[in-house]
Amino acid sequence: MKVQAINDAIEELLEEYDIPEFSKRAIITFDSNGLAALPSDYFRMIKLWNVDSSSVEESEYLYITEDNFDKKASTDAYYWTEDYIIADAARKLKVLPIASGTLQIRYIKTHTAVNSTDTADSGLAARWDKVVAASACKNLLDNAGQDKEAEKWAKNAMQWKINVWSALKGRGGFKEGSRVKSRYERISLLNR
């Protein structure tokens, strides 16, 4: 149960955050029906776009649900969806306008499933360990019906997620003007 709770916690992170170590970029080829196979390690889309001859982004494709996608004309521009294609027995990407060609894709790859609490490495950086542990505790306590304890661990997990994500977004450390000063730097000792 611990291993499953850990894997569930990691998947929850990947659903919510664009974690750099799981972000991949690739070029995918669409056939004349506007269909392309998903990368084998695909978990979730971040962005789909095309580039001009100078490799500069021309236009970004917007996600719409399968039902809304089916209502669009084949010439409508810059939409994508995922759909299960019965003839291919696989989930594929579909784009509009329908045409063959290549597009750039940035996506979150699947994690390596943890199969032991002691030895497996999911691919997450160590900075996420506390978040995964707290989220796994929350999942286990939820399953055991211990709602108050689960809520406590959910709060811990959320706070640690915020801390880790804030540190990732502020790469390069603290800037000089935003550094928290100690009490001794704020209060002049010469005036005492």
Q: Are residues 12 and 91 in the same domain?
A: no
- Is 62 domain-assigned? yes
Domain extent for 139: 2-18+124-169
Single-letter amino acid code for the residue at 168 = L
DSSP 183: H
The reported pLDDT for the residue numbered 164 is 86
- Is 185 domain-assigned? no
Phi first, then psi: give them for residue 108, nearest 5 degrees.
-95, 125
Q: Are residues 156 and 90 in the same domain?
A: no
Spatial CB neighbours of 191, under 8 Å, sequence gap ≥ 6: none
The reported pLDDT for the residue numbered 38 is 94
Q: Are residues 29 and 96 in the same domain?
A: yes
- Is 115 domain-assigned? no
The reported pLDDT for the residue numbered 112 is 85
- Is 119 domain-assigned? no
Single-letter amino acid code for the residue at 81 = T
For the chain, 192 residues long, give each residue's pLDDT as a single digit of tens.
888 999 999 999 999 888 888 999 999 999 999 999 999 999 999 999 998 888 888 899 999 999 999 999 988 999 999 999 998 899 999 999 998 899 999 999 998 888 876 666 778 888 888 999 999 999 999 988 999 999 999 999 999 888 888 877 766 554 444 444 444 444 444 444
The reported pLDDT for the residue numbered 57 is 86
CA–CA dist 133, 149 (Å, integer)? 14
The reported pLDDT for the residue numbered 94 is 94
Number of domains in the chain: 2
